C-alpha cells in the first residue's frame, strides 16, 4: 500500500471514529434531556395545550420577554380573545391595550394581522407547514419551528428551533461556544438542532432545551453541578476547571 493510500485509510478511520463519538453524544443528550425535563420542566400555561392559536400567542409574547412577565398577560389576553376568529374581528386598540404592557409594541399588530390572514384569507385554517407559517406577518424561522413542534409535534427537521438560549446550550455542550457568531455558526447550530429532533420526541426536546437554558445552563454562571449533561459537555470539560469552586458549589445563591 502506498503512503498516500495509508494516509487516506487512516483519515477515514479517524472520521468514522469521530462520527461514532458524536452520535453517542447526541444519543446521550436526547435521553438525559428528556429525563431531566420530565422531572424539572416548568409548568407553563402554553405547555398544557396543543392549540396552535394559543401557542402562537405565547411565542409572540415571549419574544425578548421573561416568562414570569408573560404568564398573567397571556392569561388575560386569552380570556378576552379566546379564539383566532374573535381576535380577527376585534379592534386593534383593544388588542394593544393588553399586548403593549409587554413593551415592544409591534406584538399587537402582528397578532391582529396574523389572525386576519388566517381567518379571512385561509378560511380559518391554521398553517401547519414551515413555508405557510413563514408567510404570516412577523413569523420568523424560530417561531415557525416552535409552532410546528409545540402545536403539531412535527417530527421532522422543519420543527427545529434556534434562539440565543438554544445557541448557548448546544454551543457549550457540542463545543461551539468560542465560534464567532457568523453565518457558518448559525448554519452549524441549525444543523445540530435539526439532527437532534430528527428521531422524534420533538415537543419534549425543544421544550427541554429551552428550560435547560433558562434554569441551569444560564448565560452567567451556569449551574453545572445541577446539570444532566456534565458527562458529555465540552464546556464543562474544558472551561469549568477554570471557574472558582465556590461558584460551582453555591451556584443558585450567586445568580
Catalytic sites, residue numbers: 59
State yes or no: residue 222 binds ligand SF4 (CB under 6 A).
yes
DSSP at 139: -
Task: Report how many residues bind ligand SF4 under the rule CB under 6 A.
Answer: 14
Q: With CB under 6 A as the contact rule, which of the stretches 8-16, 18-26, 186-194, 218-226 interacts with ligand SF4? A: 218-226
Q: How far is the CB of 223 from ligand SF4 (least distance, A)?
A: 6
Q: Is residue 106 within 8 Å of 90, Cβ to Cβ?
A: no
- Cell 380570556: give the residue: 79
State yes or no: residue 233 binds ligand SF4 (CB under 6 A).
yes
State yes or no: residue 217 binds ligand SF4 (CB under 6 A).
yes
Q: How far is the CB of 48 from ligand SF4 (least distance, A)?
A: 27
Q: With CB under 6 A as the contact rule, which of the stretches 18-26, 42-50, 123-131, 226-234 interacts with ligand SF4? A: 226-234
Apex 156 CA angle, 31 and 183, nearest 5: 90
Pairs from 250-253 (Cβ < 8 Å, separation ≥ 24): 251/221, 251/222, 251/223, 251/224, 251/225, 251/226, 252/223
Q: Which is nearer to ligand SF4, 116 or 221 (CB)?
A: 221
Q: Which is nearer to ligand SF4, 156 or 247 (CB)?
A: 247
Grid cell digits, residue 48: 398544557
State yes or no: residue 235 binds ligand SF4 (CB under 6 A).
yes
Closest by Cα among 183, 135, 141, 140 to 158: 141
Grid cell digits, residue 71: 404568564
Q: How far is the CB of 6 from ligand SF4 (least distance, A)?
A: 38
State yes or no: residue 172 binds ligand SF4 (CB under 6 A).
yes
Other CB atoms within a 10 A radius of the CB of residue 59 amount to 20
State yes or no: residue 236 binds ligand SF4 (CB under 6 A).
yes
3-state SS, residue 41: coil
Q: Under 8 Å CB-to-CB from 163, ≥6 apart: which residues?
A: 142
* Alpha carbon separation from 147 to 58, 158, 226, 251 (Å, rounded): 10, 10, 29, 33
Q: How far is the CB of 55 from ligand SF4 (least distance, A)?
A: 26
State yes or no: residue 229 binds ligand SF4 (CB under 6 A).
yes
Give the binding site for ligand SF4 (CB under 6 A).
169, 172-173, 216-217, 222-224, 227, 229-230, 233, 235-236
Amino acid at each position: 500500500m502506498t503512503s498516500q493510500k495509508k494516509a487516506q485509510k487512516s483519515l477515514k478511520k479517524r472520521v468514522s471514529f469521530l462520527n461514532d463519538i458524536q452520535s453517542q453524544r447526541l444519543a446521550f443528550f436526547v435521553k438525559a434531556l428528556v429525563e431531566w425535563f420530565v422531572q424539572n420542566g416548568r409548568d407553563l400555561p402554553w405547555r398544557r395545550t396543543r392549540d396552535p392559536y394559543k401557542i402562537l400567542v405565547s411565542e409572540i409574547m415571549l419574544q425578548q420577554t421573561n416568562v414570569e412577565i408573560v404568564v398573567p398577560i397571556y392569561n388575560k389576553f386569552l380570556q378576552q380573545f379566546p379564539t383566532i376568529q374573535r381576535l380577527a374581528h376585534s379592534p386593534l386598540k383593544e388588542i394593544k391595550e393588553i399586548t403593549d404592557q409587554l413593551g415592544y409594541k409591534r406584538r399587537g399588530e402582528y397578532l391582529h394581522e396574523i389572525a386576519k390572514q388566517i381567518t379571512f384569507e385561509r378560511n380559518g385554517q391554521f398553517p401547519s407547514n414551515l413555508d405557510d407559517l413563514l408567510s404570516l406577518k412577523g413569523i420568523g424561522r424560530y417561531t415557525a419551528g416552535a409552532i410546528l413542534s409545540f402545536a403539531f409535534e412535527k417530527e421532522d427537521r422543519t420543527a427545529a428551533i434556534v434562539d440565543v438560549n438554544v445557541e448557548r446550550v448546544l454551543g457549550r455542550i457540542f463545543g461551539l461556544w468560542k465560534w464567532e457568531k457568523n453565518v457558518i455558526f448559525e448554519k452549524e447550530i441549525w444543523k445540530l438542532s435539526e439532527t437532534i429532533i430528527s428521531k422524534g420526541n420533538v415537543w419534549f426536546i425543544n421544550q427541554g432545551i429551552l428550560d435547560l437554558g433558562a434554569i441551569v445552563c444560564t448565560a452567567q454562571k451556569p449551574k453545572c453541578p445541577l446539570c444532566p449533561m456534565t458527562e458529555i459537555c465540552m464546556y464543562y470539560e474544558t472551561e469549568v476547571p477554570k471557574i472558582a469552586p465556590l461558584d460551582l458549589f453555591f451556584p443558585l445563591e450567586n445568580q
